[in-house]
């Protein structure tokens, strides 16, 4: 897997009170009325990628090779009195496109809003479950940067952040930016061995409730999340079910940030006879191959970061050093567990944002690709149960 990981950035720099987004630079179009009740902003990012990996026989195994196109993302944001728009359309390599988000919101009052369209499904560490460029195991299980057509209700004040959502179906497979459970007949880049997996989520409900508080060291948060949906099988025409529950924390101590989460999930599909119920098919827009995950498991993560503010260094405003770790415990004892650890540094120099990541992975499909294709499930591939590594450099220019 490769370009599925490449994304826009949203990084809170603890201790600085700064939110580093595409708004840290001049946009292509930027307009605001004199009374600030109306605005329009058009911008985006172009990103390039380079990597070295410790497996396989392609060019990256012997040298860094030439930089490759990652993504070009177009962002359109605006407001009209109490209405607002937030959208991101992504152009990827291999002529793939996806929609990261596209919704219209309305502020009911100073603390509450409603959003409809292709909205984020709120769950756990939200919306990105790690600091680094490299997505971690929660993302590949569907718990990061995940959108669906539906509606969200939001209520946020200095004490609470509460989000409730309903999604009648999942985002169309050819537009998915992040992976989701899917049906073989709808997904691209699949394999014949997946042909009996025809499950799709319907009528999903998400709830995320987080308690916020401040102390002398900084902002703190602890939260609970839950999700439930029908799991419609296109072969048997029977409905199974899916659920997930999660606990997360997000703590700031001066310039340190500590994020943690634990999520338990289960897919109870009504598959045809002879189909292995212990596996669930996942996929996005076909940029990378579809893959299996365990139908039941518990995934934990611990992310540490330290942000160094830079003074008198020109465009360089901050340097963020981080370590992200995630672990998947599978319900089947005869399937070896999966782990990932990423150590890296981020350079924030608007309009540039640069990540340099070093990732170790064991039984994680993203590290090892086809040679580790069963890593999230039975761990029976060529490079299963081996620690593999990858170094990745990603450079973005925001506009």
293 and 269 Cβ atoms separated by less than 8 Å: no
Q: What order do you get walking across the sheet with 279-283 strand by strand?
A: 180-181, 279-283, 291-294
* 201, 230 contact by CB (below 8 A): yes
Residue reference for tokens 């940030």: 257
Burial class of residue 19 in the structure, from the number of CB atoms within 10 Å of its CB (0-12 exposed, 13-18 middle, 19+ buried): exposed
What is the residue extent of each domain of the chain? 3-398
N- to C-terminal Cα separation, the chain:
27
What SS3 string covers 63-132? Answer: CCCCCEEEEEEEEEEEEECCEEEEEEEEEECCCCEEEEEEEEEEECCCCEEEEEEEEECCCCCCCCCCCC
How far apart are the C-alpha atoms of 76 and 99, rounded to whole Å?
Answer: 12
Beta-carbon count within 10 A of 72 CB: 16
DSSP category for residue 172: P
pLDDT tens over the chain, length 399 residues:
333 333 333 333 333 333 333 334 457 889 999 999 999 999 999 999 999 999 876 544 445 556 889 999 999 999 999 999 999 999 998 899 999 999 999 999 999 999 999 999 999 998 889 999 999 999 999 999 999 999 999 999 999 999 999 999 999 999 999 999 999 999 999 999 999 999 999 999 999 999 999 998 899 999 999 999 999 999 999 999 999 999 999 999 999 999 999 999 999 999 999 999 999 999 999 999 999 999 999 999 999 999 999 998 999 999 999 999 999 999 999 999 999 999 999 999 999 999 999 999 999 999 999 999 999 999 999 999 999 999 999 999 999
Helices (H), the chain: 137-140
Q: Residue 345 CA to chain centroid, in angstroms? A: 19
Judge contact between 332 and 343, C-beta under 8 A: no
pTM as predicted: 0.91
CA 391 to chain centre: 20
What is the CATH number that goes with domain 3-398?
2.40.160.10
Structure tokens at 201: 């989520």
DSSP 198: B
Q: Any idea what DSSP says for residue 315?
A: T
């Amino acid at each position: 897997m490769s370009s599925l990981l490449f994304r826009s950035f949203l990084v809170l720099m603890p201790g600085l009170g700064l939110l580093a987004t595409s708004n840290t630079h001049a946009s292509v179009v930027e307009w605001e009325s004199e009374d600030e009740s109306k605005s329009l902003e058009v911008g985006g990012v172009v990103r390039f990628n380079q990597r070295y990996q410790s497996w396989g026989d392609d060019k990256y195994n012997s040298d860094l090779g030439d930089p490759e196109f990652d993504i070009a993302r177009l962002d359109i944001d605006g407001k009209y009195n109490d209405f607002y728009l937030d959208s991101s359309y992504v152009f990827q390599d291999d002529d793939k496109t996806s929609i990261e988000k596209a919704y219209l919101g309305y502020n009911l009052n100073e603390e509450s809003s409603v959003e409809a369209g292709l909205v984020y499904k709120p769950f756990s560490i939200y919306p990105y479950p790690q600091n680094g460029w490299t997505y971690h195991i929660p993302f590949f299980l569907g718990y990061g940067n995940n959108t669906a057509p539906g509606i969200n209700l939001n209520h946020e004040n200095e004490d609470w952040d509460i989000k409730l959502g309903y999604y009648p179906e999942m985002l169309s497979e050819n537009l998915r930016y992040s992976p989701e459970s899917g049906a073989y007949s709808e997904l691209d880049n699949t394999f014949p061995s997946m042909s009996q997996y025809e499950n799709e989520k319907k009528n999903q409900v998400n709830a995320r409730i987080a308690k916020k508080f401040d102390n002398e060291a900084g902002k703190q948060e602890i939260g609970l999340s839950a999700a439930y949906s029908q799991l419609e099988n296109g072969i048997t025409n029977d409905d199974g079910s899916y659920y997930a529950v999660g606990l997360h924390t997000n703590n700031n101590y001066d310039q340190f940030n500590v994020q943690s989460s634990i999520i338990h999930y289960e897919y109870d599909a009504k598959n045809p006879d002879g189909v292995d119920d212990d596996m669930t098919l996942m996929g996005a827009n076909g940029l990378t191959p579809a893959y299996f995950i365990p139908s039941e498991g518990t995934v934990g993560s611990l992310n540490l970061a330290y942000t160094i503010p830079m003074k008198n260094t020109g465009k360089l405003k901050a340097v963020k050093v981080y370590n992200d770790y995630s672990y998947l415990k599978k319900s089947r004892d005869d399937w070896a567990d999966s782990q990932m650890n990423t150590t890296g540094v981020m350079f924030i120099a608007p309009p540039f944002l640069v990540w340099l990541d070093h990732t170790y992975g064991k039984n994680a499909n993203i590290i090892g690709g086809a040679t580790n294709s069963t890593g999230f499930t039975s761990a029976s591939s060529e490079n299963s149960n081996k620690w593999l590594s990858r170094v990745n450099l990603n450079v973005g220019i925001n506009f």
